[in-house]
Amino acid sequence: MLLIRCPHCGPRNQDEFAYGGDATVKRPADPASASDSEWHAYIYVRDNPRGPHEELWHHAAGCRRWIRVRRDTLSHRILATGPVHGPLAEEEGR
């Protein structure tokens, strides 16, 4: 069970959140001129790291805001959390 620190609400149970996937993928800046391979990279290809992973979570049963979480996919330890576009605050003492 994860305890996820929502930057707006504080630490909350994982059950309150919905997962939103890899936070590092970027939609092509100019969709009209993006090539198939650029769309392919954005839509389908992932780093899928075994270790720290930047990801989006939706605090669906809380403030209903999206947040950004850096979590280790091997240990499940949450390393840092923050707003989607803001700086991440490191988790301390865990």
Applying CB under 8 A, the residues found at the interface with another protein are 1-2, 14-15, 18-19, 21-22, 36-37, 40, 43-50, 53, 55, 71, 73-76
Contact predicate 23/71, CB 8 Å = no
**Distance in Å, CB of 87 to another protein, minimum:** 22
**Distance in Å, CB of 67 to another protein, minimum:** 13
| Cβ proximity to another protein, 8 vs 40, nearer residue | 40
Residues near 65 by beta carbon (within 8 Å), at least 6 away in sequence? 6, 8, 58, 59, 83
| Cβ proximity to another protein, 8 vs 46, nearer residue | 46
Residue of 76, 78, 77 lying closest to 88 (CA atoms): 78
